[in-house]
Chains A and B, each alone.
Chain A
């Protein structure tokens, strides 16, 4: 049924549809409405879940970890500061191989304090072993959460679904919330796995010198994860009629210049790409949806015919630059030698990335024969 809802509400509807059993979350702007709505569902009995009102995000993730080890389907949601607070537990959750799904509403990390969209919070957690999706619309957020439970329960690694704060979380769009029985066809109850069981007692999370072997097993699973994400997306497409893929390429086959980005900036880029084509400049847009594991094959495939690549990062790693730019450069290493990557940083702290900004990016990339230093868009003079 089509509803006009915000992406935060879409998250809550998706968790309701997934029949999650334990929810533990702590409010933080701009995620609070997710938690409020889920508390409402639990209170009214629509969602048969235990809702734990925790006292910090660290405890929220600890509750999810312990509930997940006991065998329940769990969910939490957070944002920048809360995500950073749970950092040690993100490693714990992936190391314990737990199928936790978390919605992270991207927000800038202080200091200085800023409440608005910035992808640095989740990208700075890229080494924690969580799968990461970056969504562009409320519908995609809803669908990705459903897919995430299937993926997580299959490969036993946790999944983080990212949506930009305020730009997505608080704007209202049409989202098709399907009937429960359709969702049940895609997402059955979780398959059996090792968990805390008094009839088969064992110890989870022991100290071990076999550590490197467990990390290797995680690596093996991450290698399979891309294929499984594709598979689940295809399955989703069959049942619901819409799919997203690991990356979304728009007019990339014949493009001379490809703009690579993630999240809602891609929507603006597509409009500018159309305008540029009208003016004679062949521009394409590649939106990266799955960030961990990084879809290198798909990206190489999408960029194979390009002559220039401009990467627009809504994130920043001090001392290194844009994180997507770094990843794209490493993916292109050893393949098309000479494909220049023009790095741009824009939109940090929720600064609007307008069509004028993207046109400036296109213009600059077109004019410069070689990529130079990182170009920061939107600074004061």
Chain B
């Protein structure tokens, strides 16, 4: 399951006015008063509070951060974006080419890639050139010689 922080939307039961009983996975069990759509998974035992508006305040607090203005910055250096916007493929001076004919789907290249640049597409592996840094570990470890390293053309 690909989980993106800050963009997870769930429908969860919430029993207003009664914190309910939380099981070991953090799910609130209790009398259902309906569903609410919210962007966080509720953990009412995160912080004790006598405040009945706790949930609303907690959600409001998770405002959309950005680095565009002072007001939109969090109060301290709390990272709120993932590194997926950083295309480390730009670093490459050599690139791997995967020959699917020779590939036996053993998954060793996927396992040994430090950048998780080898992904699955259906029942085949695929190299993400957006992120591949060209280290060459995949080619070295492939038992079938299915990966070839070639110089990057720039």
Contacts and interface: CB of A to CB of B under 8 A. Distances in A.
A–B direct touch in complex (beta carbons closer than 8 A): yes
B41 interface: yes
Interface in B93-129: none
A216 B70 contact: yes
B25 to A, nearest CB: 10
B19 to A, nearest CB: 12
A200 B77 contact: no
Interface stretch (A117-125, A205-213, A340-348, A362-370): A205-213
Contacts of B61: 192-194
Nearest to B6: A200
Interface stretch (A137-145, A183-191, A269-277): A183-191
B76 A199 contact: no
Given A214-B76, A217-B70, A202 B49 contact: no
Contacts of B40: 199-200
B132 to A, nearest CB: 24
Contact of A200 (B5, B49, B76): B5
A153 B139 CA distance: 54
B77 A206 contact: yes
B1 interface: no
A49 to B, nearest CB: 13
B54 A97 contact: no
B77 A217 contact: no
Contacts of B73: 210, 213-214, 217
A194 B74 contact: yes
A350 interface: no
Given A199-B26, A200-B5, A200-B6, A192 B47 contact: yes
A214 B75 contact: yes
Interface residues of A toward B: which range? 20 to 34
Contacts, number: 78
A18 to B, nearest CB: 13
A71 B77 CA distance: 17
A197 interface: yes
B77 A192 contact: no
B75 A156 contact: yes
A106 to B, nearest CB: 29
Contacts of A95: 76
B77 A202 contact: no
Interface in B45-82: 46-51, 54, 57-58, 61-62, 67, 70, 73-80
B76 A191 contact: no
A201 interface: yes
B43 interface: yes
Contacts of A205: 76-77
Nearest to A216: B70
Given A97-B75, A202-B80, A190 B47 contact: yes
A191 B50 CA distance: 9
Nearest to B75: A97
A75 to B, nearest CB: 17
A113 interface: no
B67 A210 contact: yes
A96 to B, nearest CB: 5
Given A197-B46, A216-B70, A192 B57 contact: yes
A95 B80 CA distance: 18
Contacts of B51: 188, 191
A207 B40 CA distance: 26
Question: Max chain A CB contacts within 10 Å: which of B43, B46, B54?
Answer: B46
Given A214-B77, A217-B73, 7 more contacts: A71-B46, A156-B75, A192-B54, A195-B47, A199-B41, A204-B78, A205-B76
20 contacts: A71-B47, A96-B76, A97-B75, A156-B75, A190-B48, A191-B47, A191-B49, A192-B61, A197-B46, A199-B43, A200-B40, A200-B41, A202-B79, A203-B79, A205-B76, A205-B77, A206-B79, A207-B77, A210-B67, A217-B76
Interface of A: 71, 95-97, 156, 188-195, 197, 199-208, 210, 213-214, 216-217, 221
